[in-house]
Each structure stands twice: as structure tokens, then as C-alpha cells.
Amino acid sequence: MWLQILSLQPNFEAMKFYNLLIKYRFPVSIVVLALAVLVNVLSGFWPAFLLYLVGVVLLASHFFFGPMRLIQQYMESGDMDGAEKILNSIKYPSLLYKPIRSVYFTLRGNVAMMKQDYDGAEIMMKKGLDLGMPMKEAEGASLLQMGMLSMQKNDLKKAESYIRSAISKGLPDKENQAAAYLQMCSIMMTKREFRAAKDFFRKTKALKPTTPQIVDQIKQIEKYITRMPG
């Protein structure tokens, strides 16, 4: 056991160092570039070349990649305030590398959604979708969230369009798939298309989701869906 922990320790320490570097990358780049200028004045360009290179790489990565990696730990722990603080530290999102900019706007949308700012969430998530997602599954998940946003705003037509697109694009796991089918079941019930509602309900149950919210919704719908015609 201890051997396993020790073997993992260098990786942990390296990750910890990398996160610290990301956090303080901008001031470090300024210090390194200032040292490069000093060495250049005192000893010439070539002795300062490596410092210039390191400083420029750090500065460029700060603006092109941002501190997005640091958000992961906050998202996993459900600390949306911490995640928002990191997002707010990005002053020039238009400079971010396109796939990372897409993730930035999607996360902005997630934070707004958690705060029940549905209009703001929709604007941000649309920006993310317009930029294109790195993976099809990520695009599907964003479309599903857009569908749920539309349902919160009682725009069922738009919600159905988004969720159908999400299912078509593909979703990352069975929990997301179950959520999509369950939302479609709810929409079909509202539209009184009972046969379609039952079909989507069967698909939801077949996935055997474990998310408490989805399980609870299944139990609620199951009480009366069998009584529906079709």
C-alpha cells in the first residue's frame, strides 16, 4: 500500500506544481521577461534568449489557454463560487484558443443556470455551441442543457428541437441519455402524444439510471403513465 502511495506521490507533486504554475503564470512570465531584459542589457541577447523564450511561452499560454484547468477541482466539489471566481479572472476570453473558449462559455452558462439566470445561461451556452465543441458528446450534452433551459422557460417547441438534436449528436453517458429521454417523455405528455411518451419512458427505464433526481421523476411518472391511452 505504501509503495503504491509513494509511486503516486511524484505525479501528485507534479500536478500540484503545474496547478500553482497555472495560477501564477502571468506574474511569473512578467518576472522572467524582466530578468531577460536585464540579462540582455548586461550580457547580450543570446544569454537572455532562454529567459525570453520561457517568458513568452508563459505569457502566451496565459492568454491562449487561461486557467481553465483550475476550474475542474471546483466543479467536481460543487463549489460554483470558486469556479466562477476562476472564470472571472479571465479578462480577455476572445483571446482563448477556440475549443477552450467554447468550454469557457459553456461553463459560464452552467454557472448562470445554477443561479437560475436562465436568459444569461442561454446566451452563454449558445456562444459555446456556435464556436463548436471539442467532442460530439460534449455538443450533445450542451444541447441537452439548452433543451432543459427552454423547458424552464416553458418554450416546449425549442426544448424539443434541442433535445432531439442532443440525442442525434450523442450523449456522454447513460445518465445524460436517460435525462434526455425523460424530458422528451414529459414534452410528449404535454403535447398529448401518449404513444410517443410511453416509448420515451420505456427507453428511459431501459437505461436503468441511478441519478436520484431522474429515479424520482421515473417513480412519479410511472404512477399515471400506464393509464394513458395509446
177 three-state secondary structure: helix
Provide the pLDDT for residue 108. Answer: 92
Provide the pLDDT for residue 13. Answer: 65
Q: How confident is the model at residue 4 (pLDDT cuts 50, 70, 90)?
A: very low
pLDDT digits (tens, 9 = 90+) for 9-53: 445 566 777 788 888 999 999 999 999 999 999 999 999 999 999
Of 10-19, 124-133, 134-143, 201-210, the one with minimum mean pLDDT is 10-19
Provide the pLDDT for residue 14. Answer: 66
pLDDT digits (tens, 9 = 90+) for 70-110: 887 787 777 888 889 999 999 999 999 998 999 899 989 98
Share the mean pLDDT of the chain: 88
Helix (H) or strand (E) holding 213: helix 212-225
Provide the pLDDT for residue 71. Answer: 84
Q: How confident is the model at residue 6 (pLDDT cuts 50, 70, 90)?
A: very low
Provide the pLDDT for residue 22. Answer: 87
pLDDT value at 1 more than 70: no
Quick count: other Cβ atoms within 10 Å of Cβ 19?
15
Q: Specify burial of residue 70 (Cβ count, 10 A radius: 0-12, 13-18, 19+).
A: middle
C-alpha cell, 195: 404513444
